[in-house]
Amino acid sequence: MFQRNVAFDGILNNIGGFGKFDEHDGVTTGTVLASPSRHNPNYFFQWTRDSALTIKTLVDFLEDHKFDLSKYRIDLSTVVEAYIYNAYNLQRVPNPAGDFESLEGLGEAKFMPDGKPFEAVWGRPQRDGPGLRVITISKYLNLLKEHDKVLLHPGLHNETFVYEEILKPDLEYIIKNWKQPGFDLWEEVNSIHLFTSLTQLKALKMGLEISKRNNDNEFHHVLTKSFNALRFFILAESGYKSHSVPYLLESPELVLRGERSGLDIASILASLQAHDITSESDSLDIPFPVEDSVVFNTLIAMINDMKTFTTAMAHPKAIHGSSLLQLPLSSFTN
C-alpha cells in the first residue's frame, strides 16, 4: 500500500491541476509533465507518448479495482478526463510537425507545459503517439461503459464527442501514415519501428470496436481494411521477424545497413503495450504476444547482450539486482 501511494503521488504531482503544478505555474490542467526538472536536464515538457502511457496506468488501476473511486485519495476519473480534454486541445495546436487540418500535427512528439508548441529542432514526426492516445482513451471509454458510468468533464460531452473529435482524427492519422517512417520512441532513428507498428495495430483494433458502437459503418470498413493491411505488413513485409536471427528486430532498416543488431527493449515494450493481458483475442489478432517464443527469445538475447556490454553485468558478484538498458548502440547508453 505504501509503495503504491508513493508511486501514485509521484504520478499525480506531475499532472497539472492535481499535484505540485497548476496554471499559476504555466501548466495546463491535465498536462502530464515528463519531469519537474527544468535544468540539467530540462524535461519540463509534455510528451504525447509518455502522457498516454502514464494515464493508461491510472486507467488500468481503475479497471483492476472495478472503478471503485474510493481506492485512492482523489477521484482518478477526473484526472483521466482532464488528460483527455487536454489531448483534445493539443491535437488542434499548429506545430512544427504540421496542423490539425492535414492531420500531420498529430505526429508531434512534445509540447510546452502550457499547451503551446515546442518549436525547437527535434526528432519528428513520432508516429506512435496517436495510437497510444487511442489505446488509453478507448480503454477508459470501454471501462465507463462496462460500469455504467458517463463522462463528467464539461468539455467532453459524451462518448460520441470523444470518438468523433479525438479518437477518429488519431485513427485517420494512423490510416494515412502507418507505412511512413518516423522517429522511434527513443527519438533517435527515422525509420519504420516495431513499437510504432504494433501499437498502431492495437489502436486500429480498438477503433474497430468503438466505431461499431457509434454506428460509424463507413469508417469501420476503412479501419478493417487498414487493420488487415498493417497486420500483413507486420507479419510478411516489415522484416520485424527475420529468418536469420531468433529475435525481433525493432528497426529492420538499421540492421540491413549494418548499423545495429536490431535488439532493442522497445520490442518487448511493444508486445506489452499492444496486448491486453485480459484479452484472449489480442493474442490472435495482434502479432507477437508475450507468450510468443520470438518475444521470449528477444528478452533472452537482450539479457545476454547486456551481460557483455555493461560493466556491472560483467561482475555479477558486485551487484544485487539487474535491469535491461535500452540498447547498446543508443546515444542514451553511450
Active site residue 187: yes
Rounded distance between C-alpha atoms, residue 252 and residue 260, angstroms:
9
- Residue 36 CA, chain-centre distance (Å), reads 21
The single residue of 22, 60, 187, 292 carrying the catalytic annotation is: 187
Query: Which residue(s) pair with 241 in the sheet?
Result: 248
Q: Is the bond leading into 41 cis (omega within 30 degrees of zero)? A: yes
74: how many CB neighbours lie within 10 A of its CB? 12
The alpha-carbon radius of gyration of the chain (Å, integer) is 20
The single residue of 63, 170, 184, 276 carrying the catalytic annotation is: 184
- The answer to whether 32 and 55 are in contact (CB under 8 A) is yes
165: how many CB neighbours lie within 10 A of its CB? 14
CA-wise closest residue to 22 among 63, 71, 82, 76: 82
Rounded distance between C-alpha atoms, residue 60 and residue 109, angstroms:
24
In the numeric block, which cell numbers belong to residue 124?
519528428
Rounded distance between C-alpha atoms, residue 168 and residue 155, angstroms:
17
Q: Give kind and range of the element (H or E) at residue 46.
A: strand 46-47
Q: Give kind and range of the element (H or E) at residue 110.
A: strand 110-111
CA-wise closest residue to 137 among 178, 72, 87: 87
Rounded distance between C-alpha atoms, residue 13 and residue 171, angstroms:
30
Active site residue 164: no
Active site residues: 184, 187
